[in-house]
Chain A
Amino acid sequence: MSFEELGFHAQEIYEMAVEKYLRDEHMIDERDGLYYAPTDPMSGQPMMTEEVLRKTVWDTEMKFNEIHSLFNDFLVLPDPGAFDGPIQSVTTCMDALCSKAFTDPIQGDPHPINVELKAMTVAGSTIDEWDGLAAKAFMNNFVIPFEGRTENQFTVASILMNALNANKELWKRARANIDDIAHKVKSALDHYDDCGKNEWEIGLSVVGAVVAIAAVPVTGGASAIALGAVASAVDVASTFAGQIEVPPKNDYSAESVEGVIAKAKQGIEDLKTEVARAEQKIVDAMTNSSGVVAGHATDFLAPRPTLAGAPGNPDVGQPDDD
């Protein structure tokens, strides 16, 4: 079974449910797509009229018709592979912002210095030799805090990259989990009439896919601030590994066709609840970080330099004598 075959498996489950229910409740057998009324063992005659047989089959088909749409909500989900491109793009952005060697604060990966940004140090040394107010302001407001600010921008990019990574894992597991449910329901329909209790277990691994990280610290600034983040459970720094939620193993049992289908619906609802809860962690982290970045803008963006605002008359002052 695979996720792509969900629609096909809904049809298989429907056919199994109709066939088994007719056999269990009405002793109507299905062979090669045709239904046969039960026969009197003594006379060999059908025990119901053709009309009753047709009506019973029709009523049963209607009873289980909704199975066709059992997996409908899951038929189109985000493709985990589609996240690879954006993850690579955001990583390129992170690399460009490395005014020194930075470590991804969420994932733990090292990012080497972008040597091109050393030009800022050279420009800073030159401007530092001029005593004009605009030159000094540029030095104090732009050059000196440059490294800290680019690190904060790098951190925001890291939060975006790790959110993509978390999404990738979430949808990979959601696809696997719904496929597992379909598989287990088919198996339960096959075995509910066996001896012993008909039980099956569904591990909702989607529960542990997204790791919520409450506070990623930001450097500098007048007050200590932190950003909300998420990580993929399979790609998270060891510091946060303890925060991975352990997926529950939900047990289901049923001893009839109707019971199995009811538990299938329950399993699907349980999965929907957990997918929503996992993705809500991403929404919360992004919303939190947007709020913090907006509320502390100068920690992420230098004020416009006076020099930049006065192209015709920049106050660079005089060069130092030495």
Chain B
Amino acid sequence: MSTGHVLGVDLAELWDAGQNHLPIVAGEFTQAVNALPTSITGIMYRSGGVGAGDHSYGSAPAWGELAATLAGHLSTTADNLMDTGAALVHAANNYAGTDAEARAELERRKLEIGTVR
């Protein structure tokens, strides 16, 4: 098998990781952060200041602070994965430009692999 063909196969795998696999993972983190409420003040109101912490909402602000921190981390993780994926796609395409046979193999395999999302 020619080196151009082998390189094309490697580039197709790199492209697949960036185009498909990392965005799949990022999507799960996006789902996680979308499901996570970051405020519960709406269900924590008490009229007479009964409880601890905030007079009207008790432990809700403390809960919200931790939830917002986690939401931020999950969101950043998703963004980093998407950006990394885009960089890998860019790298694969750029690299293929240096070798005609590799490029042909990459393009052929892109069609074969497809785009998951």
Residues of chain A at the chain B interface (Cβ within 8 Å): 72-79, 82-83, 86, 89-90, 92-93, 96-97, 114, 116-117, 119-120, 122-123, 126-127, 129-130, 138, 142, 153, 156-157, 159-160, 163-164, 167, 174, 272, 275-280, 282-283, 286-287, 289-290, 293-294, 297, 300-302, 304-305, 307-312, 314, 316, 319
Contact = CB atoms under 8 A, between A and B. Distances in A.
Given A160-B67, A283-B62, A289-B66, 15 more contacts: A73-B50, A78-B44, A96-B29, A96-B35, A114-B28, A123-B22, A142-B84, A279-B51, A279-B53, A286-B66, A290-B65, A308-B79, A308-B81, A314-B90, A319-B14
A123 B25 contact: yes
Provide the main secondary structure of the chain A interface: helix
B49 interface: yes
Contacts of B104: none
A81 to B, nearest CB: 9
B11 to A, nearest CB: 8
A150 B63 CA distance: 20
B50 A77 contact: yes
Q: How large is the interface on B (under 10, 10 to 19, 20 to 34, 35 or more residues)?
A: 35 or more
Contact of A167 (B13, B44, B70, B91): B44
Contacts of A316: 14, 88, 91, 95
B66 A156 contact: yes
Interface in B79-94: 79-81, 83-84, 86-88, 90-91
A293 B70 contact: yes
Contacts of B14: 126-127, 130, 316, 319
